[in-house]
Every structure is written in C-alpha cells, then in structure tokens.
Structure 1
Amino acid sequence: MRKKGRPNPDQRYFMAIVALHAQSGGKSYPVCAAGTEKIIVRASNPGQF
C-alpha cells in the first residue's frame, strides 16, 4: 500500500494453481483444481520472478 491507502500500481503478485488429472484409456480427465488468492511479491526487483 502506498500513502493514503492507495495500492501501488507497480505491485506484482502471483497465484498458485494446482490441478489433479486422471488418465484412463489414453485420455486425461480433470478431477479437481484449486487456486490461491493473490500472493504479493515483496522484493527489491520483483521483475526477476
């Protein structure tokens, strides 16, 4: 956050997404998937991530 409660427009974030697939008969079927909320990157140079 920046001064006066405004978000930093240059703030970077990631989201982790995990999916489980099952294979049967040569085909892949999605079983379930889940994702996280935004994970804020706090580093001196987040562009390197």
Structure 2
Amino acid sequence: TDHNVRETLQIVDRAYLLLEGRVVLEGPSEQLANDPVARRHYLGENFSL
C-alpha cells in the first residue's frame, strides 16, 4: 500500500476505501476525496487534492 493518499488519488482513476476489512466506498478519486465518510474515517476533514 501507499501511505501518501494525496499523491495516490491524483494518479488513479478509481479508488477503494476499506474500513475494518470491508470496502465501504469506491469510485473516482474526486468523489472519495469529497465523501464525508472517507473524510471522517481516513482523510481528515481538511483534506484536499
């Protein structure tokens, strides 16, 4: 895995967010970057691409 999520989301077409071993979100990078669940559990409220 790559722990630099900002750089990773800038180069992929789709991304998947795993939470407790399950895919909870999938979609285009921009969609995940703006999703409230992704922000709350993984990215942080101030995340931006």
Q: Greater strand percent: which structure? A: 1
Please state which band the TM-score falls in when normalised by the shorter chain.
Answer: under 0.3
* Greater Cα radius of gyration, structure 1 or 2: 1
The structure showing larger relative contact order (alpha-carbon pairs under 8 Å, at least 6 residues apart) is 1
Q: Greater helix percent: which structure? A: 2
TM score, norm. by length of structure 2: 0.24
